[in-house]
Structure 1
Amino acid sequence: MGVKYNREYRDIVRDLGHAIGQIDNCYEAFEMERADWDALDREEQIEFMRTLADDIFYGLGTEPSIEVGEGKVQYDPSNHIIKVWTESQIVHLVKLI
C-alpha cells in the first residue's frame, strides 16, 4: 500500500520527527532508559527522532497505526495526513500534500 505524499520527503520526516518528540517516553522506541536519553545532546535527540520518523513513515505503509512511548502515530489516507497522538489528545498533524 504505502503512504502517499507529494511534499518533500525531508520536510515530512522533519515535521514527523518533531511531533514524535512531543510524545512522552518516545525514547523507549530505541529501548533507551530516560537517563540515557537525557544524556544525549539536543542535536543527537533530533537525529534519533528523524530516524524514528523515517522508520514510522514506512511502517505506516503496512500498519494503520504504530504505538510510540505513551502515544501513537496514525496514517489518515483520506485526509492525506499523519496524526500524532499523546494518550487521548492529538499533538500534531503532519501534512503529506
Structure 2
Amino acid sequence: MGVRFNREYRDIVRDMGHALGQIDNCYESFAMERADWEELDREEQIEYMCTLADDIFYGLGAEPTIEIGEGKVQYDSVNHVIRIWTDAQVVHLVKLV
C-alpha cells in the first residue's frame, strides 16, 4: 500500500517539511544534538525538513503513523490528508488531493 495523492509531490513535501519543523526535537531524526541543529542556517534546516518529509511520505505507505521527535505523523487514507501532531495537538493538515 502506498500513500495516494493527486497534488504536486513537491508541494506536499514542502508543506510537510514546514509542519515537521514545528515539532519539538525534530532534529533527533537526524541523530543531531540541539546545538548542531541551531548552528544550521534556516535554509539548511528547511532542506533537512524536506528530506525528512520525503522519507516520511514513503514510510507512511507501510506504517500509517510515524513518531518524530515529540510528535507524530499520521496518514489518513479516508480523508486524503497527512496529519502532523505535536504532543496532543494537530499542527498541520497536508492535503493530498
- Residue-by-residue CA offset, 1:1-55 (whole Å, 9 max, x unaligned): 0000000000000000000000000000000000000000000000000000000
Q: Specify the code of the residue in structure 1 equivalent to 2:77.
A: P
TM alignment of 1:4-83, pairs within 5 A: 4-83=4-83
TM-score, normalised via structure 2 length: 0.99
Q: Specify the code of the residue in structure 2 equivalent to 1:86.
A: T
- Stretches of structure 1 that go unaligned for 5 or more consecutive residues are none
Query: Aligned partners of 1:35 and 1:12: how far apart in 2?
Result: 29
Query: Aligned partners of 1:88 and 1:44: how far apart in 2?
Result: 28
Aligned residue-pair number: 97
Structure 1 stretches of at least 4 aligned residues deviating more than 6 Å after TM superposition: none
- Percent of paired sites with the same residue: 77
Query: Aligned partners of 2:39 and 2:57: how far apart in 1?
Result: 26
Query: Aligned partners of 2:76 and 2:23: how far apart in 1?
Result: 19
- Stretches of structure 2 that go unaligned for 5 or more consecutive residues are none
Query: Aligned partners of 2:43 and 2:88: how far apart in 1?
Result: 29
Secondary structure at the counterpart of residue 94 of structure 1: strand
Query: Aligned partners of 2:8 and 2:43: how far apart in 1?
Result: 22
